Structure 1
Amino acid sequence: MKKIGLFLSKDYKLLSVAAALEVFETVNKFAIAEKQPKPFEIVLLASEEAIAQSKEALGYQLTSLKDASSMQIILIPAFTSEDMQATLMANMNCIPYLVAQYQKGTCLGSFCTGAFLLGASGLLNGKIATTHVDASNGFANAFPQVKLKVDKTVTQDDRLYTSGGATSSFHLLLHLVHEYCGREMAIRIAKVFAIDMDRENQSYFSTFQPSKDHTDELVAIAQSKIEANYHDAATIEELIKDIPSSRRNIVRRFKQITGITPIEYLQQTRIEAAKKLLEKTNQQMNEIIYSSGYNDPKAFRKVFKKSVGMTPTQYREKFQVR
């Protein structure tokens, strides 16, 4: 029997925990119906402070994280908070216990933004990981030593697992069922929960949401110029030539604030504009290409597929509001 720990961190998202409970409990029900031993023992873990307030949650007795033992894996749910720094500070006391469990041989996994807690532990340094696509810039800036693969739905590096945003949690759960119980059970679970087993990419769910919560006036000017003129400018130099600073200084400060270069910002602004036109209009593809600031259809399609993970036509078929 595999012992699965679900850590109820502060500000945890109930959806993550509920999804894990549903999947692992369903596997157990299948086994019981076939008069087989249950594959999983599910344990809800929490801080001693949380247990002092309530000794059970979601129908399970709570176990202190520091008393966790013999776990195959401890899973960290996504967070509800938008202030990730405050959330990490609120959960900082649990990090030594997670690290200690990992050093004893326990695997660790995270759903969605739960990867921030794994990142804060330092265990992901030098390893690949993923998180919610819209949290990727914040994650990359906070943990530059992690090899972030934002396009991936699920990653595994040594004994560390991460999943992308929201429903990608089910893909990590399916991965674990496959690993612990075999492909036949994984297929049964995929059918029950309508999980597309072949989805490995989450890039097309992203929305470009650049950081504007800063006080750097030069960067703010550059952002405004790019967003107002992305469809007309031929080069980034044209957009920033009137800003009273050297190109080198602007690029340095821009990347420090936004996490990307001005050229990448222009590219992502154009791709986001194209995505909206594909979703909301019936314009011809060439119209969309030129409206987004591209003159070369071949170059546009190449950049779009690299950024989004599918062709413009595939994106329209999947997301157009009809």
Structure 2
Amino acid sequence: MIETGLLITKQNRLLSIAAILDVFETVNKFYTNAGQENPFNITLLNTRDDEYSLMGYECECIDDTAPKDLVLIPAFNTDNIQQAIYENHEFLPWIINQYKTGAEIATFCTGAFLLGATGLLNGKVATTHVDACNGFASAFPAIKLKADKTVTEDGRLYTSGGATSTFHLLLHLIQKYCGADKAVRTAKFFAIDMDRDSQSYFSTFQPFHNHHDELVASAQQKIESNYGDSCTIEEIIKDIPASRRNIVRRFKQVTGITPIEYLQHTRIAAAKKLLEQTDKQMTEVIYTSGYNDPKAFRKIFRKSVGMTPTEYREKFQVS
């Protein structure tokens, strides 16, 4: 039996916890109905020795629980991830110790931030919610972020992308512990597409403005106001009274990306909106978004989004 610990973190996303429990309970039921031993013994864990129950489970304090084979970290339900990490700092040494004694650690969506804070992911690949990737890369530069990936595995450490990517990591774990047939059966039970390995097309560019760097704010304003002009980043920010090197350094320090990456994200976001909400011809979408080379646009769009502009329109256009 696989001793499985699900962390009940502060500021957790209840939907994440419920999804994890629902899938593992369903797999256990497959075995129960076949007269076999359940593969997963699930324990809810927190850092306080107080009363807590969820879906029929009593919660144990991490200081009192037996060692685990598999530790699961759910998503956070907050925009202030750094505050969430601070509130859950008591978990960090316990997670490190569990890993050192042989446990596998799996994180779901923004739960990857808590694992990142342990240092265990340094030098390893990871993913997280697609809209949290810039913050993750800024907070943990030593981690090899794979922003487009739905699921990653590296040295007994697993991460998943946002929301429904939780189910893809759960299927991955079920296949590892229970075999492909149980993973397929679970996928059919929950109507999960097993072949999705990219989350790029779910990305929504959300510019970070909650800072007090006037130079960076000026550069952001110029990019967001002039992205539709087919000009270079140098032309857009040429009137800002600072050297290009200084602008780039401060811009990346504040936003997590360079000005040229910010311009590209802004243009792709504009193109996606046009594809979703209008019937404009593709050439008009391309030029309105600030590109003058259709071939280059399609290449950049596919790299950023994970599909062609036409495929994106067919998938997401509002009828």
Report whether the alignment pairs 1:234 with 2:240: no
What is the CA–CA distance in structure 2 between the aligned matches of 1:299 and 1:67, rounded to whole Å?
Answer: 58
Whole-Å separation in 2 of the counterparts to 1:93 and 1:15: 23
The answer (yes or no) to whether the contact 2:230–2:292 under 8 Å persists in 1 is no
Distance 2:286 2:26 in 1: 47
Q: Does 1:260 align with 2:269?
A: no
Match of 1:11 in 2: 11
Say if 2:159 is the partner of 1:162. Answer: yes
User: Would the aligned equivalents of 1:11 and 1:80 in 2 still touch at CA under 8 Å?
Assistant: yes
Q: Say whether the 8 Å CA contact 2:230–2:291 is kept in structure 1.
A: no
Asked if 1:119 corresponds to 2:105, the answer is no
Aligned 1:115-154 pairs, distance under 5 A: 115-154=112-151
Residue 65 of structure 1: aligned partner: 62
Helix, strand or coil at the partner of 2:209 = coil
Q: Deviations over 1:154-194 (max 9, x none)?
A: 10101101110011101110000000000000000000111
CA RMSD of aligned residues (A): 1.0
Kindly report structure 1 stretches of 4+ aligned residues shifted beyond 3 Å. Answer: none
Shift of 1:57: 2.7
1:22 aligns with 2:22: yes
| In structure 2, C-alpha distance between the alignment counterparts of 1:66 and 1:157, rounded to whole Å | 27
Supply the distance in 2 between the matched residues of 1:213 and 1:131 (Cα, whole angstroms). 22
Secondary structure of 1:74's counterpart equals strand
Deviation of the 1:66 alpha carbon:
2.3
* Paired amino acid for 1:296: D
Q: Where do 1:201-216 residues align within 5 Å? A: 201-216=198-213
Alpha-carbon separation, structure 1, partners of 2:58 and 2:265: 47
TM normalised by structure 2 equals 0.98
Give me the whole-angstrom Cα distance separating, in 1, the residues matched to 2:61 and 2:104: 17
- Rounded to whole Å, the distance in 1 between the matches of 2:149 and 2:178 is 23
User: Which residue identity does 2:202 align to in structure 1?
Assistant: F
The amino acid of 1:21's aligned partner reads L
Secondary structure of the 1:66 match is coil
- 1:36 — aligned with what? 36
Say whether 1:195 aligns with 2:174: no
Contact 1:110 1:162 in 2 (8 A): yes
In 1, distance between residues paired with 2:20 and 2:81? 23
Shift of 1:55: 4.3
SS in 1 for 2:63: helix
Stretches of structure 1 that go unaligned for 5 or more consecutive residues are: none
Q: Would the aligned equivalents of 1:233 and 1:239 in 2 still touch at CA under 8 Å?
A: no
TM-score with structure 1 length normalisation? Answer: 0.97
1: CA distance, partners of 2:167 / 2:136: 21
Determine the C-alpha separation between the residues in 1 that align with 2:247 and 2:45.
47
Following the alignment from structure 2 to structure 1, what is the Cα–Cα distance between the partners of residues 65 and 301?
Answer: 46
CA distance, structure 2, for counterparts of residue 217 and residue 40 of structure 1: 53
Moved more, 23-32 or 68-77: 68-77
Residue 147 of structure 2 aligns with an amino acid whose one-letter code is V
Q: Is the 8 A contact 2:222 2:237 kept in 1?
A: yes
- Provide, for residues 50-97 of structure 1, a one-character-per-residue CA deviation record: whole Å limited to 9, x for no partner: x32x14332112122123334221100001121112111110011111
**Quick one: which amino acid aligns to residue 311 of structure 1?**
T
Q: Which amino acid aligns with 1:137?
A: N
Q: Identity over aligned residues, as a percent?
A: 64
**Alignment coverage as a number of residue pairs:** 319
Corresponding residue of 1:182? 179
Contact 1:76 1:111 in 2 (8 A): yes
Is the 8 Å Cα contact of residues 131 and 205 (structure 2) preserved in structure 1? yes
Tell me, in whole angstroms, the C-alpha distance in 1 between the residues paired with 2:90 and 2:259. Answer: 38
Aligned AA for 1:7? L
Q: 1:24 corresponds to which letter in structure 2?
A: F
Q: Which secondary structure state, in structure 2, belongs to the residue aligned with residue 186 of structure 1?
A: helix
In 2, the alpha carbon distance for the partners of 1:226 and 1:278 equals 21
Q: Shift of residue 321 of structure 1?
A: 0.4
Which of these residues, 301, 306, 312, is aligned with residue 304 of structure 1? 301
Higher mean displacement: 58-67 or 184-193: 58-67
> In the alignment, is residue 273 of structure 1 matched against residue 239 of structure 2?
no
Q: Distance in 2 between matches of 1:152 and 1:283?
A: 30
Whether the 8 Å CA contact 1:112–1:166 is kept in 2: the answer is yes
Residue in 2 aligned with 1:101?
98
